[in-house]
Structures are given as C-alpha cells and as structure tokens.
Structure 1
Amino acid sequence: MTVTPGDLDAAITSVVGELRQASGRDWSAASGTGDLNAWRTAEHLGDCLISYAGLLIARPSTPRFVCFESVADQAATPSEMLEFVTVAGGILGATLRTVAPDVRAYHPSGRADLEGFAGMGCVEVLVHGEDMARGLQVTLDPPRDVCSRVLARMFPDVDVTGVDPWTALLWATDRTELRGRPSRAGWQWRGTPLDDPPFSEA
C-alpha cells in the first residue's frame, strides 16, 4: 500500500480537472477551508506542497519549516490558481523522485520519510480540494485506489473496513460523518514510517 509520487500526480490531475469546471466563477465569494475562501484555499494548498518540497531539500537540523512562503499574484484568476496548484504539486513530485530514498525531514507530525510526504501531499490536495469543491458546488471523484493507499499509510489506526475509500478519507479528516463511528475532530495523520514507534510531541 505504498503511496508514491504517481499517486500525488493522480490526485492533482483529478482534483484540478474537476475544479476547472468552476473556473468561471468568483472564487473569492465561495467558501474553502475554515475561514478561507476558495481562492485563498488554493493559494494555501500551493504553499503547502512547495513547503514540503522545501523541507525535503533543506532538511533543517532543528524542528522548523523552511522560512519562506509561496503566494499567488493577487490578480490571479481561478484558472491561474489551478495552474499554481499543479506547478506546486509538480515541484513536490519532482523532489520526491530525486532525493535519496532514505531521506527524512521535519514535519509537526514527526520526521517523515518520502512515502509520508507523498501521503501528506495527497491528503492536502484531496481534502482542500474537497473544501473548495463544496463551496464551488462541484463534485470530486478521486481515484479510489489512491484514497485506499493514502488511508492505509497516513491513518493506519483508522478502521474503515467496508467504507468507500473516498468517503472514509473524508471521515478521517473530519469532512463528513459515518454512522456508528466517532467524530474525527482534532484528527492527525502519521507522517513517520509505520515501523517507527508512535510519534508524540510530549
């Protein structure tokens, strides 16, 4: 169930393709993640993906993010914001394909390996994409095999047997409810390899 750069490519292709249907709408008036509108959510997503690439390249010796922020031109159209997300995903994917396979780098969820960063990138794309899609009244339909691999790697302690993988991923990230299952408010993924001891910030 390894998560790969190809899974990140597939997630981006799927999400960007669906959101393109709404490229003629006003993204500043549509809701996104939390208090962000759809435009700002796209900007945040692009920044997340590039920041992950930065962590893998710089590998800071102290627990911190690389000190930069990727922002979009304020006049960028929705189509250009999707381009930004696509480019950001391409930068992360290229980094994942070219750094040494044993590289580990900081993330607040623990020192993640390449598979962890690929999985984090996929989660960012899929759930922020879903937040934007809801505000823009678009339905996402991501590849279920990608969702399954991401769930198994990033949420190994979550039991989603018999649940559609996309629905299960939305539940795992507190985007929907599942009957008979607890709330996932305060959810966290696992960036560290599965054979590492469980990560704790304590």
Structure 2
Amino acid sequence: MAVTADDLDAALSSVVTTLRPATDLDWSARAGSVEWDCWHTAEHVGDCLLSFAAQLVARPEKRYVRFMASADKDASAAEILEFAEAGGRILAATLRTSGPDARAYHPSGRADPEGFAAMGCAETLLHGDDIAHGLGLAIDPPRDTCRRVLARLFPEAARDLAGVDPWAALRWSTGRIELPGRPRRHEWRWRGAPLGSGDDQA
C-alpha cells in the first residue's frame, strides 16, 4: 500500500489531462472553495511540490528550505499548468533517488519519502479538483492512488470509510465535501510522519 513516485506521476497525469484542454478558459475564476483563483492555485501547487522536493534534498529538521517558487506574472494558463506539472515531475524524480530512511521537516510531522509522495498526490489532486471546479470541470483520479494516499495521510478515516469511494473519502477528509451522515469537516490535519513512528509533531 506504499505511496510512491508512480502514484504522483499518475495523479499529475490525471489532473493535467483534464486541465490542459481548458487553458483557453478564464483562469481568474475562483478555484472551488479555496481563496485563490485558478491561476494562483496552480502556482501554489507548483510551489508546494518544488518545496517538498527541496525538503527531501536538504533534509532540514525544523523548518522549510528558505525559498518560495513563483511563476512569471504574465504566464498564460497553459504555462502556469506547465509550472505546476514541472514541480510535480521534479518531486517524482527526487522521490526516486531518496532512500527510505530520509526524513525532513513538515508541520504534520517529519516526513519520509512516502509521506512527501502522499502529500504531493494530495496537493495535486485536491487543488487540481479545485481548479477544475472553477472551470466547470471535474477530475477523475485513479482510485488506487487515492486509496493509498488516504491510508497514508488519514489512516483513521481510511478505516472508517473503507466502503466509500476513496476519492470521495479523500475529499471529505480535507473538508471539500459532505458524505451521507458525515457533515463537511471544517478542521483537519493529515499525517506526514511515517505511520507508527510516533513522530507526528514537527
């Protein structure tokens, strides 16, 4: 059930395949329920994924690597999507060259490569879906990847929602939707640290 670089590649491909044909639409539209527009949400994804790669390379214990990645302000929708995808492919390459014992800071716990892979998938899929909603679309991610990401980041929810579509369960776990008998969550936190490590505090 480990989350790997292959899952991140699958998540990226799912999102890019959906959004690339929509780059002629208005990316100044609000991205789903988040506070950014579609353009800035895609920029955020690129920054997050590049940041995760930097964490695995530098491996700071108590902070992020001190940089912020941003796109050119005149980047088109196609170019900002390219920026987000490039960040993800760089993270995937970094995951493939990081040993399993690597650990680096994240507010949800000192994460291992699997944790960064899972968080990268979540950032890609959830914000990709936010963008898609802002453009009147919806992504249809690979359910096996969603299942592995849910089990890694939200192990209790994965057990409680074993009979629920894993993509719906992941969106519920991160406050995107309601489920029958389960109101929308307003507070949530995923787990970046390895399961069973006891290192779930930054």
- TM-score when normalising by structure 1: 0.94
C-alpha displacement at 1:172, in angstroms? 0.8
Alpha-carbon distance in 2 for matches of 1:106, 1:200: 10
CA shift digits 1:62-117 (9 cap, x unpaired): x1111111100111111111111111001101111112221000000010111000
* Contiguous gaps of at least 5 residues in structure 2: none
- Change over 3 Å in CA distance of 1:11–1:21 after alignment to 2: same
Alpha-carbon distance in 1 for matches of 2:33, 2:80: 15
Aligned length: 200
C-alpha displacement at 1:139, in angstroms? 1.3
Aligned to 1:2: 2
Alpha-carbon distance in 1 for matches of 2:85, 2:128: 12
Aligned to 1:36: 36
Q: Please tell me whether the aligned partners of residues 116 and 154 of structure 1 are also in contact (alpha carbons under 8 angstroms).
A: yes
- What does 1:49-198 align with in structure 2 at a 5 Å threshold? 49-61=49-61, 63-158=62-157, 159-197=160-198
C-alpha displacement at 1:162, in angstroms? 1.2
Code of the aligned partner of 2:174: T
Q: Please tell me whether the aligned partners of residues 59 and 104 of structure 1 are also in contact (alpha carbons under 8 angstroms).
A: yes
Code of the aligned partner of 2:74: A
Code of the aligned partner of 1:64: R
1:171 partner SS: helix
Code of the aligned partner of 1:131: D
C-alpha displacement at 1:197, in angstroms? 1.9
Code of the aligned partner of 1:67: R
CA shift digits 1:28-86 (9 cap, x unpaired): 1343562210000000110000000111111124x111111110011111111111111
Alpha-carbon distance in 2 for matches of 1:139, 1:19: 9
Code of the aligned partner of 2:191: R
Percent identity for Structure 1 against Structure 2: 57
1:185 partner SS: coil
> 4+ residue runs of structure 1 moved beyond 4 angstroms?
none
2:156 partner SS: coil
Alpha-carbon distance in 2 for matches of 1:91, 1:103: 17
CA shift digits 1:164-189 (9 cap, x unpaired): 11111110111100111244221111
* Contiguous gaps of at least 5 residues in structure 1: none
